[in-house]
């Protein structure tokens, strides 16, 4: 098992082996955002097996008036 601790994205994930890391721009109602993906697909012969984690940071203003206990 490999533990990937990503300081920049503030997460930690365990994968069976080294994951692939990508960043792509996605268009949203709030403008273009970076979507960070960390994926690992084992070579087990099962095409549906995948470990995947994604993160995008939305503008802080999007959460104004939201329940701060729920979105922090």
Angle at 2 between CA 54 and CA 42, to 5 degrees: 70
Q: What is the pTM of this model?
A: 0.65
**Whether the Cβ atoms of residue 33 and residue 57 lie closer than 8 Å to each other:** yes
13: number of Cβ within 10 Å: 16
Predicted pLDDT of residue 46? 67
Query: One digit per residue, pLDDT tens: the chain, 72 residues?
Result: 555 555 666 777 888 888 898 999 999 888 899 998 989 888 877 677 888 888 888 887 777 777 767 755
Predicted pLDDT of residue 5? 58
**Whether the Cβ atoms of residue 34 and residue 54 lie closer than 8 Å to each other:** no
Domains of the chain, residue spans? 2-57
CA distances, 65 to each of 28, 33, 58, 70, 71 (Å): 20, 22, 15, 12, 11
């Amino acid at each position: 098992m490999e533990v990937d601790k990503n300081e920049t994205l503030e997460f930690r994930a365990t994968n069976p082996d080294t994951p692939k890391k990508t960043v792509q721009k996605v268009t949203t109602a709030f403008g273009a955002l970076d979507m960070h993906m960390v994926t690992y697909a084992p070579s087990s012969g099962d095409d549906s097996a995948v470990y995947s984690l994604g993160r995008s940071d939305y503008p802080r203003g999007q959460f104004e008036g939201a329940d701060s206990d729920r979105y922090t």
